[in-house]
Amino acid sequence: QVQLQESGPGLVKPSQTLSLTCTVSGGSISGGNYYWSWIRQPAGKGLEWIGRIYTSGSTNYNPSLKSRVTMSVDTSKNQFSLKLSSVTAADTAVYYCARQGHDCSGTNCYYWFDPWGQGTLVTVSS
Amino acid sequence: DIQMTQSPPSLSASVGDRVTITCRASQSISTYLNWYQQKPGKAPKVLIYAASSLQSGVPSRFSGSGSGTDFTLTISSLQPADFATYYCQHCYGTPPWTFGQGTKVEIK
């Protein structure tokens, strides 16, 4: 059973770069043709998809964050990572990593997020 | 971006009640719609994908329906474990994938 675990600093200063890593256990990050995503949730608010990465390194980012986001993958460590630059208080949130499950028939693919990591709170404050 | 609008934002219900939550997309998304359940302090958990397919291990009291722009999540007989916040999310076309704002199901 695949499990995901986020790690990284819980406190980041404004204007600095937020860096998080998601470690995948119970299976290979390279197996199964999965995308791997980051999603965040400010306290008491809804969910925002940040972006996704394939094990080839191919990425898709949310246009609202694209100028500040970089994702990478390290298959040797079974990890993928998120960097968000020039953070402000508005970036304070619980950050989740998740696998993007899929069900494809021909060219039609349905995607969903499962499983998720437990989430890690990142606070942007001086 | 495709906007997802859920209603109601919250509801109060009793154990055993039939509960219905709706989700509307700002444009047609066929059946590219997922439903998640989130309990306080926990990560969301997928319940339904492709609008009506029940994720493995999810109780059969949960069901999803709809296509195009209008979708429904139904809990046929609400159980104590079902008090949570529910989110819809589309996976139509190219990213970004967007979520609804959530519906909180509370105990009456």
Residue B22: predicted pLDDT: 98
Selecting from B43, B97, B101 the residue whose C-beta is nearest the C-beta of A116 gives B43
Instruction: Give the gap in angstroms from C-alpha B28 to the nearest C-alpha of chain A.
Output: 15
DSSP B95: S
pLDDT at A105: 80
Contact A112 B45 (CB under 8 A): no
**Residues B95-107: what's their mean pLDDT?**
95
Put simply, whether B50 touches A (Cβ < 8 Å) is yes
Question: Which stretches in chain A have pLDDT values below 50?
Answer: none
Q: Nearest by CB to A49, which of B32, B50, B95?
A: B95
**Do residue A110 and residue B102 have CB atoms under 8 angstroms apart?**
no
- pLDDT class of B105 with cuts at 50, 70, 90: very high
pLDDT at A106: 78
Distance CA A65, CA A68 (A): 6
Q: Compute φ and ψ for A67, nearest 5 degrees.
A: -70, -15
Structure confidence by residue, pLDDT tens digits, B28-76: 999 999 999 999 999 999 999 999 999 999 999 999 999 999 999 999 9
Q: Looking at residue B88, what is its pLDDT?
A: 98
pLDDT of residue A79: 97
Q: Is A3 exposed, middle or buried (0-12, 13-18, 19+ CB in 10 A)?
A: middle
A70-83 tens-digit pLDDT: 999 999 999 999 99
pLDDT of residue B5: 98
Q: Which of A47, A51, A111 sits opposite B99 (nearest CB)?
A: A47
A113 close to B (CB below 8 A): yes
What is the model's pLDDT at position A123?
A: 98
For residue range B17-38, what is the model confidence (pLDDT) as tens digits?
999 999 999 999 999 999 999 9
In angstroms, the Cα distances linking A89 to A11, A93, A119, B5, B55 are 11, 9, 18, 26, 36
